[in-house]
């Protein structure tokens, strides 16, 4: 059985925060504001990208995540 390891990366120059949930090819995406969620062929989340991300203004980026979470009926925890 293959083990998927989540990976979080931040490119300071481009301002992109990327959260890789699992290693798989993206076949579909949803875009809301500066947040892009990529899905695999089975509809499972592969990656979440935050464009123009700033740690100082992270609170503003939570709104699109909360919308996705509500639409997908997936709990979202932000600390």
pTM of the model: 0.66
Assess contact for 61 and 68: CB atoms under 8 A. Answer: no
Distance CA 34, CA 50 (A): 6
Distance CA 14, CA 27 (A): 23
Question: Model confidence over 50-67: pLDDT tens digits?
Answer: 898 877 776 666 666 667
Q: What is the mean pLDDT of residues 25-38?
A: 92
Q: Residue for token digits 């509500």?
A: 70
pLDDT at 79: 39
pLDDT at 28: 93
> Domain limits of the chain?
8-72
Question: Residue 22 pLDDT more than 60?
Answer: yes
């Amino acid at each position: 059985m293959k083990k998927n390891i989540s990976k979080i990366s931040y490119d300071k120059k481009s301002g992109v925060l990327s959260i890789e949930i699992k290693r798989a090819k993206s076949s579909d995406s949803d875009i809301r504001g500066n947040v892009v969620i990529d899905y695999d062929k089975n509809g499972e989340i592969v990656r979440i990208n935050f464009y123009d991300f700033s740690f100082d203004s992270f609170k503003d980026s939570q709104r699109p995540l909360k919308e996705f979470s509500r639409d997908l009926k997936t709990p979202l925890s932000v600390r």
